[in-house]
Amino acid sequence: MDSILVTGGGPLNGEIPIAGAKNACLTLMPATLLSDEPLTLTNAPRLSDIKTMTALLQSLGAEVQGLQGGQVLAMSSHDLNNLHADYDIVRKMRASILVLGPMLARAGQAVVSLPGGCAIGARPVDLHLKAFEAMGADLELRDGYVHAKAPSGGLKGAVVEFPFVSVGATENALMAATLAKGTTVLKNAAREPEIVDLAHCLQAMGAQIEGEGTSTITIQGVDRLGGATHRVVTDRIELGTYMLAPAICGGEVTCLGGKMNLVESFCERLDAAGVSVEETEKGLKVSRKGDRVRAVDVTTEPYPGFPTDLQAQMMALLCTAEGTSQLEEKIFENRFMHAPELIRMGAKIDVHGGTAKVTGVDQLKGAPVMATDLRASVSLILAGLAARGETVVSRVYHLDRGYEHVVRKLSAVGGKIERVKVE
């Protein structure tokens, strides 16, 4: 099994290219199921989750081919010959549930296993199912599978009001509504850039969508969708992660392709902590204003609030801040599993339910630590870059789900990091 070996000390300087968004690409790929014409995605990230979604789509009869080293995905679902998404694939990744809406809308039926994925809380799919029921679908949960069938004549437009903001449910309902009969209105919809990116791709395929990026999205169903070529939006979570590298280590790093509007609330917290962020033609240039950052309070919220997917990385930074910070996690329960590992590195963290109090220390120390989920894994790497001595991060298969070439990217700006085999 592989581990990541990090030797701390020294500033980081240079440029880091930011990949296409994992969460956007995993949503865009199932959109191919809505049409019998080709859908091509450019700027696709090269990650294990993308391979998992590729395998799932291929199991349903879709053709998926990676071009240009995997950065281009050429897809076609002209022969959709299987409407059963099997547990063996779906269990590996929560985003697999996103094939349900497109299959139900186009083929009128689908059988999809309940998904697996990150161990960061229950994250139920009931909001997805309630949206489909509102569109007239008949749903039955049996033996761990969702058995879904559209009414004769297909799904029907409906008003769907989510009781709380759900990115996945918004995405699934949005895709299904593009082929429903009549008008669908999604209220209290998610506003993330990945939602906007999906809407733009669907619009390029011929969908009639208004209000993307707001809390009310209106979709006028069409009879069929065509093909398109679409560029995947920049990954704002990878962007924020690498912006934290010079903040925690010192130095100056430009994150190529980064845009301030993708990470505005995150940048506000960085500024309060004493981190400079400047938008240039190349991307976002980041540096620490002083020798240490200042303590700040952080509350995770749905977009445009502070992203839950940057909470673990921000905690790593605040472990070395002057003063005491408070992080409140409002999106997912059980998402402070990285805290005990940071404590092994000398951090002072006190967790009570959904709140963590972090008192900064002068310096962290290297230690053997274990990644518990995707974002936790990279938070430990960031902490290791700033720590004294060596840090060994195990269970890095989590890392491969969301960050491409992390060793190469951090090494290029002066980080002492390598991937090693551990017996």
Task: Give the residue numbers of the binding site for UDP-N-acetyl-alpha-D-glucosamine.
Answer: 94, 123-127, 309, 331
> Whose CA is closest to 25, among 75, 83, 63?
75
118, 249, 255, 267: the catalytic one is 118
CA distance readout (Å), 239 to 174, 300, 346, 402: 26, 17, 27, 12
Q: What is the dihedral angle through the alpha carbons of 179, 184, 190, 195, rounded to the nearest 10 degrees?
A: 30
Q: Which residues are annotated as a binding site?
A: 22-23, 94, 123-127, 309, 331
147 — phi, psi (to 5°)?
Answer: -100, 110
How far is C-alpha 79 from the geometric centre of its chain's CA atoms? 29
Residue type, 410: L
Task: Report whether 263 contacts 239 (CB < 8 A).
Answer: yes
Task: Report whether 1 contacts 398 (CB < 8 A).
Answer: no
> Whose CA is closest to 136, among 112, 162, 154, 116?
154
Q: Which two tokens stand for residue 20?
A: 């296409």
Which uninterrupted H or E stretch holds 399?
Answer: helix 397-400
Buried b (16+ CB within 10 A) or exposed e, 331-356: bbeebbbbbebbbbbbbebebeebeb
- Please indicate whether residue 249 is annotated as part of the active site: no
Task: Report whether 406 contacts 399 (CB < 8 A).
Answer: yes
C-alpha to C-alpha distance for 36 and 246, rounded to whole angstroms:
46
Strand order in the sheet with 2-7: 368-370, 390-394, 2-7, 416-421
Q: Is the peptide bond before 246 cis (omega within 30 degrees of 0)?
A: no
Residues with active-site annotation: 118
